[in-house]
Structure 1
Amino acid sequence: MRPRNRTVSARIARQALGAAGLTLTFGLAACSGGAVPAANSKTLSAADVDPAAAAALPERYKSAGVIKVASDIPYPPMEMFDENQKLTGLDYDLAQALGAKLGVRLELQTQAFDSIIPSLQSGKNDIIMSGMNDTAERQATLNFVDYFHAGFSILVPKGNPDRITTVMDLCGRNVAVQKATVQAEILRSYDQQCRDKGSEPVSVSELPLETDVQTAVRSGKAAADVVDSAAAAYAAKTAGNGKIFDIVKDPANPAGYNPVYTGIGVLKKDAELGKALLAALQAIVADGSYGTILEKYDLSDYRVKETGLNLGTAKP
């Protein structure tokens, strides 16, 4: 997913607003370094615990009773606030389900996406759930517990005024993506194909937040937003009650371009934590709650066919 997926001077204002809303709703204060505890987890019940997953969890997390989750909030539909300013979204709901199986709270903390891996390396957070794509480059630092599989889509203004029909129609145009995501790299991989057809390469603008990217498209500063298919579908459906954006439908790529796995990022040194999270994911797949959560956000098409670690570089 994220280029980000899964993007941010608008971020400063948005973080201030988010922090104020969180303090009001959850009674939580902002942390140093820009991280804000986004929400408390639901009340834990011993009846929900999966014995195998809980047994695999390293003792320090059992003792703490919490796993801190770095998440670049908001990034709908992965993580966002509802009309009551309560945290919701696919990643949030999955975090609650996984925590229930492990017998600990998974507590989301807002963290800028371009500093999300360093937040683990510094010890501020323990894992990442933020629509992060499982790539070979990121696997040099992280293990991924993969839970989602989707491509990237092209989001354009309503009515598609530039008549963009495929990714090659982006050649010579200004296209916005979220900073620190893989989308910029993907677009630049088309440079030679653009030249071969007598056009300039795509001009890629990298912005802090996905919301900033969408604002650039709405204002005409960018012809399109190349973003995870799930985020594109949500924006097209909800922005202005569906009157702001369209998704480019490319018959040759019905599931989006360059489908990739999205996963929970865990530092290599915390491999045992990754194994425990995988066991918890397998438990929510088995009891049906994984499927129910995907259905809630109309994301069933992007379920993983089988669970695993580091599927992003697995051989077919």
Structure 2
Amino acid sequence: MGAATALVLSGCSGGGSDSATSTEAGSSTSVQVDAAAAALLPAKYKESGINVAADMPNPPMEMLDENQNPTGFDYDLAQALGAKLGVKFTFVQQTFDTAVPSLQAGKHDIIMAGMNDTVEREKVLDFVDYFHAGFVIVVQKGNPENITRILDLCGKNVAVQKSTVQGELLEGYADKCKAAGAGPINLVQLPTELDAQTAVRSNKAVADVVDASVGTYAAETAGDGQIFELVKDAEHPGGYNPVYTGIGLLKGNDDLAKALNMALQSVMDDGTYAKLLDKYKLSDFAIDKAGINRASE
């Protein structure tokens, strides 16, 4: 799908209505506008809606259905936020490694692409955090290379999506690999997460290191759970280096950040957030409150 393809989320346009219809798990449910959150939203978004840079497909966060329409946890969460704010969200395909430049160029208002909130990224972006998870190692079913921990990846080809925190994490293991008498991890950096999974399936990489939410979904659903499995590291049962995931927006857009944060809290308070997490089997990665720029917590 081309980068200019616009994918429109349902939600009411600004003004006039006190509720909006959001599609959840194939049924229609009413999500009430949160007047306080909507009042914080800058006027220009009430008029034009919110344009979202989304890296699709990146299951289960962003996916495309059989008709090439968007779905996934981020999509459904954005629907609920749009209903709370009384505006329309428009999802636009944008590759992960070009999402930040696209914001800087004024092509999009926010990023919803399963983007991790890190101290380094907070130099450029603010994040409205909605998720907390570590990284996991995904291998072929049966674990033919007997990978049990990150150091078992030393000297081997490991797939990651380009411009992700996972790549930075693995690069940081060079000294530990050397101390273990092995070569550095050979990163196979690919455009999309699905490309990384394909590399594992085709034996071009022994593993894919990815967010726990994405890895868990792949292990459970690909080939009805018969293609991948997760490495169980006893020292890191919840994954490696747990971090927050958030909605990214440019520094200085404080009113939009506050409006999104309040809308997110409202989605949590009315139970919609928990239902969406359960729909995509992501409940283990829930956070207990909305927050902005929590990378250092």
What is the TM-score normalised by the length of structure 2? 0.92
Output the CA distance in 2 between the equivalents of 1:42 and 1:60.
17
- Give 1:269 deviation, angstroms: 2.0
Match of 1:266 in 2: 249
**Paired residue secondary structure (1:148):** strand
Letter in 2 for 1:56: L
Structure with more contact order per residue of length (Cα contacts < 8 Å, sep ≥ 6): 1
**Paired residue secondary structure (1:156):** strand
Match of 1:68 in 2: 51
Unaligned runs of 5+ in 2: 20-31
- Give 1:42 deviation, angstroms: 4.1
**Paired residue secondary structure (2:295):** helix
Match of 1:286 in 2: 269
Q: Does 1:52 align with 2:24?
A: no
Output the CA distance in 2 between the equivalents of 1:40 and 1:268.
25
Output the CA distance in 2 between the equivalents of 1:139 and 1:91.
20
Output the CA distance in 1 between the equivalents of 2:11 and 2:45.
17
- Give 1:254 deviation, angstroms: 1.3
- Kept in 2, the 8 Å contact 1:36–1:111? The answer is no
Output the CA distance in 2 between the equivalents of 1:73 and 1:152.
20
Output the CA distance in 2 between the equivalents of 1:62 and 1:211.
35
Match of 1:251 in 2: 234
Letter in 2 for 1:218: R
Match of 1:131 in 2: 114
Output the CA distance in 1 between the equivalents of 2:122 and 2:6.
26
Match of 1:192 in 2: 175
**Paired residue secondary structure (2:188):** strand
Output the CA distance in 2 between the equivalents of 1:99 and 1:172.
46
Output the CA distance in 2 between the equivalents of 1:281 and 1:84.
29
- Kept in 1, the 8 Å contact 2:9–2:79? The answer is no
1:161-180 mapped onto 2 (5 Å cutoff)? 161-180=144-163
Match of 2:5 in 1: 36
**Paired residue secondary structure (2:8):** coil
Check 1:43–1:58 CA distance in 2 against 1; reply closer, same or farther (3 A cut). closer
Q: Does 1:77 align with 2:60?
A: yes
Letter in 2 for 1:153: V
Query: 68-77 vs 85-94, which deviates more?
Result: 85-94
Q: Does 1:154 align with 2:137?
A: yes
Output the CA distance in 2 between the equivalents of 1:40 and 1:187.
36
- Give 1:260 deviation, angstroms: 0.3
- Give 1:250 deviation, angstroms: 1.1
Q: Identify the structure with the greater strand proportion.
A: 2
Output the CA distance in 2 between the equivalents of 1:35 and 1:303.
32
- Kept in 2, the 8 Å contact 1:71–1:108? The answer is yes
Output the CA distance in 1 between the equivalents of 2:176 and 2:124.
32
Unaligned runs of 5+ in 1: 1-14, 20-33
- Give 1:40 deviation, angstroms: 3.3
Output the CA distance in 2 between the equivalents of 1:270 and 1:41.
24
Match of 2:279 in 1: 296
- Kept in 1, the 8 Å contact 2:11–2:86? The answer is no
Q: Does 1:111 align with 2:111?
A: no
Q: Does 1:237 align with 2:209?
A: no
Q: Does 1:89 align with 2:111?
A: no
Match of 1:224 in 2: 207
- Give 1:81 deviation, angstroms: 1.8
Letter in 1 for 2:99: I
Output the CA distance in 1 between the equivalents of 2:219 and 2:12.
34
- Give 1:84 deviation, angstroms: 4.3
Output the CA distance in 2 between the equivalents of 1:268 and 1:95.
20
Match of 1:8 in 2: none
- Give 1:43 deviation, angstroms: 4.8
Query: 246-255 vs 148-157, which deviates more?
Result: 246-255
Aligned residues: 282
Q: Which of 177, 182, 186 lines up with 1:203 in the alignment?
A: 186
Letter in 1 for 2:98: S
- Kept in 2, the 8 Å contact 1:176–1:216? The answer is yes
CA-based RMSD: 1.2
Match of 2:128 in 1: 145
